Amino acid sequence: LEENTDIEAWDAVIENNDELLEKYIAGEPISREELAQEEQRRVQEASLFPVYHGSAKKGLGIQPLMDAVTGLFQPIGEQGSATLCGSVFKVEYTDCGQRRVYLRLYSGTLRLRDTVALAGREKLKITEMRIPSKGEI
């Protein structure tokens, strides 16, 4: 394995992949990219079930969970589909009482003045959009 890669943490990912097992046994390096691709493939085929833990109140473990939701659990090959698909990760209200919704789009296109159907029967009209730049909105 490449330097700084903890093999024990990746045992469950490697164990069902003959190519990665052969590399490991032969002492050949296994890149983090290879491990991440195998992990995503196994999660998508429901043969690996990662468990995340943390505390939103204390801000612990949130980033690994969000990374998994936006990367690991994202369906392979659906990133460019025409169907709008996304996840709301934060809702807040401005001083004027307007609702501000933060979301991550997995596929599709969202435009100003679009009406979007939410998970329930509620529909939401897009009146303003902002795209983050260097972590700031």
* pLDDT (0 to 100) of residue 2: 47
* pLDDT (0 to 100) of residue 113: 92
Q: What residues are paired with 124 via a beta bridge?
A: 116
Task: Report the amino acid identity of residue 72.
Answer: L
Distance of CA 100 to the CA centre of its chain: 21
- Looking up tokens 């990665």, which residue turns up? 20
pLDDT tens sequence for the chain (137 residues): 445 456 667 888 898 899 999 998 998 998 888 988 899 888 888 888 888 888 888 889 888 888 887 777 766 655 545 688 888 888 899 999 988 888 888 778 888 999 988 777 788 889 998 887 776 66
- What is the H or E stretch that residue 90 is in? strand 85-93
- What is the value of pTM for the model shown? 0.51
d(CA 129, CA 137): 10
* pLDDT (0 to 100) of residue 137: 64
d(CA 12, CA 46): 13
